Structure 1
Amino acid sequence: MPTSRTNPGPAAAARNRSALLEAAHAVFAESGTAAPLSSIARRAGVGQGSLYRHFPDRVSLVAAVVEENVDELEAASAAGADLPDLLGLVTRHAIESVGVVDLLAEDRPRRMLQLRERVAAVLAAHHEAALAAGQVPQGATVEDLMLGVELVAGALTRRPAGERAAMAVRSWRLLGMAVALPEGVR
């Protein structure tokens, strides 16, 4: 007698999307954005068809990863993180996702600008307090902070994964800032 499988419906779709994004974060951190999408599907425990239903191409998946990173930054800001912690989180994202921003900027510049504006808004919300606390160089503007993020991310692009955290800390120090990298970032 054949067994029937019930279709889990929309609940499975949400779980699959979440698993795919979690796997994409890990695979991109290990292997970069050129990693085979099949490795992401495999790590997520779903078929490639499921991956392509959620993300029709590599850039769509990369955009979703960046979007999640910005959501995490906004949540940390709302939870009361200070500017060095927020810049540390942005730096962690850069360490784990080298090449992600470049790929997205080339293919979807308008979307990248929107995400950049969201990051700048988070940093702007903490800028005055960070200036008053001496956490950023006197006279540094929000645009200066965004330039710092871009410079640090650029410094990481051709570094082996094991050297990125130390390079990020050195880069921020050269820019006159002590950034708090989240625990576990190496």
Structure 2
Amino acid sequence: MPTPKSSSSKTEELEYGLLRLDTEVEPSATGQPSASESCPLDIVAIHGLHGSAISTWTHDDGCMWLRDILPSRLPGSRIFSFGYPAHGTQGKEKVSINDIARNLLENFKGERYEKEDRNRPVIFICHGMGGIVLKTALVIANHPKEGYKDILESIAGIMFIDTPHRGSEATSFPLTSSNIFEKAYTSAF
């Protein structure tokens, strides 16, 4: 097992967008896959509410498994973590799930500009609300005029971890209270 790297900085945790985590991994003599056993695959992790692109995937000991373990197990894979404002606001502007989903698609499309990259299979790993973000992105991507056909056709798998497919009290209360406060604030001014 590789030695955990140092834990992330606070500025890393506040990153939004697609963060690339893999680095070139040298084959080891410990039975890890060799370069000839390369795994040309894209993996995209999407965090949930109250998480971040780094902290959601990091153990208390500082080991971020997406960055510190997975690249040596899947050499040749490109591993990303997608960060977004998990509390639904960014400054004074509200950020909708549609905006976040579109941002995910645009960021990922930008990483797949080479022909060989567009053909790489992709696996999405979604935690909590990250699953809702991905499902929204897939609905957007399904429209032919959007230009995300390559992404849709490349999906090899999706892992949902604790995704509230039928809603959640954890998401309904903040959204309801946010709407109440927003209406009270706009009617006061």
Tell me, yes or no, whether TM beats 0.5.
Answer: no
Which structure carries more strand by proportion? 2
TM-score by length of 2: 0.31
The structure whose residues are more often helix, as a share, is 1
